Amino acid sequence: MDLPRSFVIREGDLRILNPIDAPKLATLGRAVKLRPGSSLLDLCSGKGELLCTWARDHGVVGTGVDLSTAFTAAARERAAELGVADQVRFVHADAAAYVCDEPVDVAACVGATWIGGGVPGTLEILERSLRPGGMLLVGEPYWRIDPPDQETVEGCHATTREDFHDLPGLVRLFQDEGWDLVEMVLADQDSWDRYAAAHWLNLRRWLDTNPDDELAPQLRRELTEDPLRHVRHRREHLGWGVFALLRR
């Protein structure tokens, strides 16, 4: 049980595996008013930057769950680096099936609502581990601009327009599922650029040193196609944000 090796290559030495930078991640931690001792569950925790930096900056405790052995190992290293290994732990497991032994104050899934087949299913998964009155954090794309054609839809890693909502539609979806939106931190175009372009550099450096690897043709094709896809489609049309929710 693991993510494909291409994920590890693409993310390289990135610590945040979403189009949100360290200042915005810190802003989110302050905005939701984390308190020392608050308990967090982070599903699809990646390399653990959310949990580790919030443990350092706000004194929270918690668990991160991810399918990638490489990302889980990197998260544990980051916890040790920041001196918070006694506050957080990272588990290699299927996030979709994970439930905490004790309900948590905050349950997060930032940028991986595929674990629940979309936003509604992911909200249900997160709520299994949430204490009454606790907060959910959900990271999700949305249409900044309505895509004009199917090429743009597919250029934004979607199959149909209905795969994503526009921002008002996403807020309505949260409300229809019984949640109040109480905070949000949105990526901007620079956030997308930094995240996307970091992938290109990671891919190029890997290709330069691994030209005969079995993955080289696939990743060479990705490096050729993705920059144009980003500037033509994703950068203009696709937004992304983290949304804080309280059960109505």
Global confidence as pTM: 0.95
Domain ranges of the chain: 5-142+165-243
In the chain, the N- to C-terminal Cα span, in Å, equals: 36
pLDDT given for residue 36 in this prediction: 96
Per-residue pLDDT of the chain (248 residues; tens, 9 = 90+): 789 999 999 999 999 999 999 999 999 999 999 999 999 999 999 999 999 999 999 999 999 999 999 999 999 999 999 999 999 999 999 999 999 999 999 999 999 999 999 999 999 999 999 999 999 999 999 999 999 999 999 999 999 999 999 999 999 999 999 999 999 999 999 999 999 999 999 999 999 999 999 999 999 999 999 999 999 999 999 999 999 999 99
Concatenated DSSP letters of the chain: ----HHHHHHHTT-S--SS--HHHHHHHHHHTT--TT-EEEEET-TT-HHHHHHHHHH--EEEEEES-HHHHHHHHHHHHHTT-TTTEEEEES-GGG---SS-EEEEEEES-GGGGTSHHHHHHHHHTTEEEEEEEEEEEEEESS---SHHHHHHTT-SSGGGS-BHHHHHHHHHHTTEEEEEEEE--HHHHHHHHHHHHHHHHHHHHH-TTSTTHHHHHHHHHHHHHHIIIIIHHHEEEEEEEEEE-
Residue 108 three-state SS: strand
Question: In terms of Cα–Cα distance, which of 182, 133, 161 is closest to 28?
Answer: 182
pLDDT given for residue 1 in this prediction: 78
How many whole angstroms separate alpha carbon 4 and alpha carbon 200? 18
pLDDT given for residue 24 in this prediction: 95
pLDDT given for residue 175 in this prediction: 98
pLDDT given for residue 49 in this prediction: 98
Contact predicate 16/22, CB 8 Å: yes
pLDDT given for residue 2 in this prediction: 86
* Tokens (6 digits) for 119: 């936003």
How many whole angstroms separate alpha carbon 157 and alpha carbon 205? 24
* Tokens (6 digits) for 170: 């996403």
Fold of 5-142+165-243: Rossmann fold (3.40.50)
